[in-house]
Amino acid sequence: CDAEKETLIHTLKDFPIARAILSTGGLDNSLITKDYHCCMDWLEDVTRVLVKRVTVDLMTTLWNSWNNRNNFIFYRKKEEMHVVWERARTLSQDFRIFNLINDPLLPANPAVKRWEKPPRVTLK
């Protein structure tokens, strides 16, 4: 890539392979082509547009895209964008199955615990 400066937004959205992965995944083209200076602004716009389940898939796709970029930089291992996309899709599906089979690690309704003064006869 001939980018003068590689920022987080460039790596996740503007890098040609990342852009191809996001397009293959069906992300709205306006979210890909719009110019953002800050990655958080882009992620906030994306999460406003997408439903929760699809947002989770997008985060998995971004993680796989990031990992693909690291593999290229550190190990010179280059993968086609459709391979990265398929890996992200499979991983999202595996997460969904795991979450259906297993109890959540964090409770849906966290218990509210308050300190209560012990009875007077209690010794410490």
Mean pLDDT, each 10-residue run in order, the chain (124 residues):
72 79 78 84 84 77 86 88 83 75 72 82 72
Provide the H-helix boundaries in 3-123: 8-9, 16-24, 29-33, 39-49, 52-75, 81-101
pLDDT of residue 1: 62
Length, in residues, of the chain: 124
Range of the domain at 24: 8-92
Is 81:17 a contact under the CB 8 Å cutoff? Answer: yes
Domain annotation covers residue 16 = yes
Give me the number of domains the chain comprises.
Answer: 1
Is 78:84 a contact under the CB 8 Å cutoff? Answer: no
Domain annotation covers residue 66 = yes
pLDDT of residue 11: 76
pLDDT of residue 74: 92
pLDDT of residue 124: 67
Domain annotation covers residue 104 = no
Domain annotation covers residue 48 = yes
Domain annotation covers residue 101 = no
Domain annotation covers residue 110 = no
Domain annotation covers residue 102 = no
Domain annotation covers residue 118 = no
Using CA atoms, how far residue 87 sits from 50, 67, 110, in Å, is: 21, 11, 33
Rounded to two decimals, the pTM is: 0.53
